[in-house]
Chains A and B, each alone.
Chain A
Amino acid sequence: MVTSTITREQVLEWLSEVPDPEIPVLTITDLGIVREVTVNDAVVVDLTPTYSGCPATEVIEQSVVDTLRDNGIEDVQIKRVLSPPWTTDWITEDGRNKLRDYGIAPPAEGGSKRDLLYGKRAIACPRCASQHTQVVSEFGSTACKASYKCNDCLEPFEYFKCI
């Protein structure tokens, strides 16, 4: 049952504690996949999947339901919203900083998405900030990351691909 004391802001705050299962340093609000929260008879959460085949989609939906139930909300509805499609531009500034601290270079911002996806821009090393880096593999441990190495500090790192 939803009481009138529950607000959209309160729900968003709870959701900002839900980690992304693949990159747990980020929460789902950092990622920008929580598109809307509506509080009426039920709490409706609009979520946008990152990739069509993202295996984390169901896990995230279940985590949202579990988190809100733990906070006493019984009637939770998840709405999958496909349009507009998710883009890495929706990752918050806070999220980008967390990624960098975690050792993953955040996606490049702005400009032509196609140029960025096609690797025409230098990616800064998340450890030493050198732009003297090279791509090792366009595919990393998950669909959304590529593997890089830094030619200055010689550390390997992952880059969150820009889509």
Chain B
Amino acid sequence: MNKDQVLLNYVLRLGDNALILGQRMVELVAGYPELEEELANANFALDYMGQARMFYTYAGELEGKGRSEDDFAFLRDENEFHNFLLIEQPNGHFGDSIAKLVLFDSFYLLLLEALTRCSDNRIAEIAARAEKEIRYHLRHNAQWLVRLGDGTEESKSRVQESIDSLWQYTGELFAADEIDQVFAESCDGPDLEAMQGQWHINVKAILDAATLTMPEDGWMASGGKQGRHSEHLGFMIAEMQYLQRTHEGANW
């Protein structure tokens, strides 16, 4: 893969992660038990959607075939999405969603910080904008994890289960493949291995505050970055893409 193809694929991955996580959160809109969380979730989802649009618009320009942000979101099949397995997992209960967001945002914040220093100006600019938003998300979600973990016996045991069952999807976040490696070399991209150490420290601090136990690293699922997904993604994009697939080019 040459440098241009790597850059395009790297940008598409960033867009896919933002879109798929944003769409998962959109599924929860109007479903939260209290107003503050309802607004927080909808606003956070909106941030991810905005980030996805910026990455997809850039990807369209890099590709040069006239594909728009909507084409990338609505007219690709599941094996063409290269998001992490972690974020396509179903929402589950509130503790599951919060655990997933804390694990992902802890990674995403480090990634965005590193990307603000990469040599591709456009990615660096989008990352600088997004980093401010994700810092706020993480703070909010970490507070909830502490409240659930250090809460009642039931909330603690359930959110510990959430962390334990999601842990197998965290290895993929740091497993560099050819695209990550070439991007790191050609654009001063992030060193994922070094980032993993910092992620462990940051997540451990949150879990400690939440009186939760950090799981041991065991077998790790992977494949999302290469387009091999869990069964959940297909159902999700079937719903997300229904309108554009049924009425192609529908607009308003």
Contact, CB under 8 Å: A52 / B133? yes
Contact of B49 among A53, A117, A118, A137 (CB under 8 A): A53
Find the A residue at minimum CB distance from B57: A80
Contact, CB under 8 Å: A83 / B125? yes
Contact, CB under 8 Å: A52 / B128? no
In the assembled complex, 16 residue pairs joining A and B whose CB atoms fall closer than 8 Å, in A order, are A49-B50, A51-B50, A52-B130, A53-B43, A53-B47, A53-B53, A82-B54, A82-B126, A85-B125, A114-B135, A137-B35, A138-B36, A139-B39, A140-B39, A143-B46, A143-B47
**Cα A53 to Cα B40 with chains together (Å):** 13
**Cα A104 to Cα B106 with chains together (Å):** 32
Contact, CB under 8 Å: B51 / A52? yes
Contact, CB under 8 Å: B39 / A54? no
Count CB-based A-B contacts (< 8 Å): 65
Interchain nearest-CB distance for B153 vs A (Å): 28
**Cα A137 to Cα B139 with chains together (Å):** 15
**Cα A54 to Cα B133 with chains together (Å):** 12
Instruction: Collect the chain A residues with CB atoms within 8 Å of residue B132's CB.
Output: 85, 163
**Cα A74 to Cα B110 with chains together (Å):** 45
Find the A residue at minimum CB distance from B140: A138
Q: A82-B54, A83-B125 provided; 14 other pairs, C-beta below 8 A?
A: A51-B46, A52-B54, A52-B130, A53-B46, A53-B47, A53-B49, A82-B126, A82-B129, A83-B121, A118-B139, A137-B36, A139-B36, A139-B43, A163-B132
Contact, CB under 8 Å: A143 / B43? yes
Contact, CB under 8 Å: B125 / A51? no
Is the C-beta of A55 less than 8 angstroms from some C-beta in chain B? yes
B32-84 CB contacts (< 8 Å) to partner A: 35-36, 39-40, 43, 45-51, 53-54
6 A-B pairs closest in CB distance = A53-B50, A52-B50, A53-B46, A139-B39, A83-B125, A82-B125
Instruction: Collect the chain B residues with CB atoms within 8 Å of residue A82's CB.
Output: 54, 125-126, 128-129
A131-148 CB contacts (< 8 Å) to partner B: 137-140, 142-143
Mark B residues whose CB is within 8 Å of A.
35-36, 39-40, 43, 45-51, 53-54, 121, 124-126, 128-130, 132-133, 135-136, 139-140
Instruction: Collect the chain B residues with CB atoms within 8 Å of residue A139's CB.
Output: 36, 39-40, 43
**Cα A9 to Cα B239 with chains together (Å):** 49
**Cα A104 to Cα B49 with chains together (Å):** 27
Instruction: Collect the chain B residues with CB atoms within 8 Å of residue A140's CB.
Output: 39
Is the C-beta of A110 less than 8 angstroms from some C-beta in chain B? no
Contact, CB under 8 Å: A54 / B50? yes
